[in-house]
Structure 1
Amino acid sequence: MAASLGEKIRRHRQKKGYSLDKLAELTESSKSYIWELENRDTRKPSGEKLTKIAEALSVTTDYLLDESAEPDEEVVKEAFFRKLSKLDPDDRKKIEQLVDMWRKKD
């Protein structure tokens, strides 16, 4: 099932429990701008804005732009690892330690 940019933004915003206001805040946008992206196909965000939206929604920009793409585990993993790579090295180390602790519980 093909989904437009606006449909994907709305779906993932709602999935994360974000209001229009919250997503606007996270992406340094206005509420009306996010609403227009979700509801009017004529609005096309800049690359910078699209990147901020993708990061806030934990998806990739490629996924948002490709109308035939559906979210899958690889898209989610790629978005997660992109966020992880931007963390401070000490914070990354803490996350690695947490993952190691969880794996030892199994």
Structure 2
Amino acid sequence: MPSPLGNKIKALRKEKKLSLDKLAEMTDSSKGYLWELENKDDPNPSADKLAKLAKALEVTSEFLMTATDMTPDQEVKDMAFFRKYQSLSDTDKVKLQKILDAFD
């Protein structure tokens, strides 16, 4: 029986129309490893692997690890967006800030 973590990974992967192969490529994992995370009772991914999965699925590691809430709420999406923003180059941050300023 899949775990809550496995159910979330699978649901988010399908929502984003990602194959196991594509998600494996995005997270430096094997297809078999991801299949086990999605389908085994007690998956135990490393913190690094969990962070890569969260980034690829556009959620937070904390969201993946909680047993509640099967779909990410706006706060989780905002936190994932901010983490993505933090990893941008300074040039890209300035471009994004200009785009956001245009909405004001």
Distance in 2 (CA, whole Å) between partners of 1:19 and 1:98 is 32
Question: 1:6-43 CA distances to partner (integer Å, 9 max, x unpaired)?
Answer: 01001111111111001000000001111110011232
SS at match of 1:77: helix
- State how 1:9-88 maps to structure 2 within 5 Å: 9-70=9-70, 71-88=72-89
Unaligned 5+ segments in structure 1 are none
CA-atom RMSD in angstroms: 1.3
Normalising by structure 2, what TM-score?
0.91
| Percentage of pairs with the same residue | 48
Runs (4+) off by over 4 Å: none
- For 1:87 and 1:50, the matched residues in 2 are separated by 20
- Rounded Cα–Cα distance in structure 1 between residues aligned with 2:73 and 2:49: 23
Gaps spanning 5+ residues in structure 2: where?
none
How far does residue 99 in structure 1 lie from its aligned partner after superposition?
2.0
Q: TM-score w.r.t. structure 1 length? A: 0.89
Secondary structure class of the residue paired with 2:97: helix
